[in-house]
Amino acid sequence: MIKLVMPMKRRPGMTIEEFREYYESTHRLIGEKYLSGYADKYMRRFTNPTVDRDGELRDPEYDVILEIWYPDRETMDACGQRLSEPEVQAEIRADEEKLFDMRYMRAYTVDECVSDLGL
């Protein structure tokens, strides 16, 4: 399995509530449309800020951590080719600009290491 992780920040001027509502009601559907048939899982992990060590509650650096799980590298690459098609890319980018601060867009594949805590 290959997991792609993307931490993303909402665009300036958008509240956390507006961001989450738009993502789940609109942007999520675009993701589902193009990931269907390629990805095994499309998950959004919305961050909830907690008080920092200095006692301050700050705006989160990232508002959502997107996870896309692919069965293998070949499938992820095939999906990447589909997402690179000009008309697909145009639709996704236009919606991303309504939602995200594009300066903070990042993508990573991850290697997971799980500890056995004896539970």
User: pLDDT digit string (tens) for 27-48?
Assistant: 999 999 999 999 999 999 999 9
Q: How far apart are CA 107 and CA 66, in angstroms?
A: 9
3-state secondary structure of 58: coil
Per-residue pLDDT at 104 = 93
Give the CB-side neighbour count of residue 4, counting CA atoms within 13 A.
22
Q: How far apart are CA 96 and CA 33, in angstroms?
A: 15
Q: How far apart are CA 39 and CA 35, in angstroms?
A: 5
Task: Give the pLDDT band (50/70/90) at residue 24.
Answer: very high
Q: Are 67 and 3 in contact (CB under 8 A)?
A: yes
Fold adopted by 1-51+59-71+102-110:
Alpha-Beta Plaits (3.30.70)
Give the predicted TM-score (pTM) of the model.
Answer: 0.89
